């Protein structure tokens, strides 16, 4: 496990609070995993899930006791990004503000580089 001193990916306070709330309700560790997979309407898509532990090779960003983990292959595509949680008229969801994305789809779940 490599804990980043200056994380290459960030977690906003809103996202950290939401992860902490969901993890507490489910009795799980407050670890959100972000990965990137091929697919979606723009070529790559973000995948979020809760993790039971940090895996070898994961990069870790931490805020308020909540950890965001990203595997090294996915990190190449989301380096410099921030994970946020948005709750508005469009719905409640995690979102990635990715400076590496050349374009994305309308729903914000897929992107191209």
Q: What is the pLDDT of residues 1-58, one digit of tens each?
A: 555 445 688 999 999 999 999 999 999 999 999 998 877 666 788 899 999 999 998 9
Higher pLDDT pick, 72 / 42 = 72
Q: Confidence band (pLDDT; 50, 70, 90) for 70?
A: very high
Residue with tokens 């070898």: 56
CA dihedral 66, 70, 72, 76 (to 10 degrees): -120
Query: Does residue 105 register a pLDDT over 70?
Result: no
**61 has which bridge partners?**
68
pLDDT value at residue 45? 85
Give the C-alpha separation, 10 to 8, whole Å. Answer: 7
The answer to whether residues 28 and 10 touch, using CB atoms and an 8 Å cutoff, is no
pLDDT value at residue 102? 61
Residue 13 DSSP SS3: helix
């Amino acid at each position: 496990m490599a804990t980043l001193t200056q994380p290459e990916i960030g977690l906003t306070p809103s996202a950290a609070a939401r992860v902490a709330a969901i993890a507490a309700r489910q009795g799980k560790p407050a670890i959100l995993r972000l990965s990137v997979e091929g697919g979606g309407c723009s070529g790559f898509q973000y995948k979020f899930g809760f993790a039971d532990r940090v895996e070898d090779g994961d990069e870790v960003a931490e805020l308020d006791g909540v950890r965001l983990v990203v595997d090294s292959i996915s990190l190449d595509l989301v380096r410099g990004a921030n994970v946020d949680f948005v709750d508005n008229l469009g719905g409640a969801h995690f979102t990635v503000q990715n400076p590496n994305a050349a374009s994305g789809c309308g729903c914000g779940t897929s992107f191209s580089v």
